[in-house]
A and B are shown apart, each in its own frame.
Chain A
Amino acid sequence: MRHEVRLRVGPVTFRVGSAWRGPVRALRRLYEGYPEAGDVADYTVRLEPAKPWRRWLRPSVRIEGDYVLPDAAPLPLAHGLVAAEMAMNLQMALGERRFLLLHAASVEKDGRALIITGESGAGKSTLSAMLGERGWRFMGDEFALLDPDSGMLHPFPRPISLKNEAIAAMEAEVAPERFGPVMENTPKGRIRHMRPRAEALARMSEQARPAMVLFPRFGFAREVRPVGPAEAFMRLTQASTNYVAMAARGFDALTGLVQTCPGVAIDYPDAATAFELIETLWAEAGR
Chain B
Amino acid sequence: MGQAMTGPLYIADTADARSLMLEGLTLLFHPASGMTHILAPPSPEILAALAEPGNAEAVLARLSTQFDFAPGEGAEALEARLAELESSGLVRRA
Contact = CB atoms under 8 A, between A and B. Distances in A.
Query: Do the two shown chains form a genuine complex with each other?
Result: yes
Given A244-B34, A251-B29, A233 B18 contact: no
Q: State the main secondary structure of chain B at its contact with A.
A: strand
A230 B18 contact: no
Contacts, number: 37
Nearest to B24: A230
B35 to A, nearest CB: 8
Task: Classify chain B's interface size.
Answer: 10 to 19
Given A234-B38, A237-B36, A258-B22, A248 B31 contact: yes
Contact of B23 (A228, A248, A251): A228
A40 interface: no
A247 interface: yes
A229 B23 contact: yes
Given A234-B38, A237-B36, A248 B27 contact: no
A251 B22 contact: no
Contact of B27 (A228, A233, A244, A247): A233
Residue from the set B22, B23, B31, B35 with the largest chain A CB neighbour count within 10 Å: B22
A223 interface: no
Contacts of B20: 255
Interface of B: 18, 20, 22-25, 27, 29, 31, 34-36, 38
Interface of A: 228-231, 233-234, 237, 243-244, 247-248, 251-252, 255, 258-259
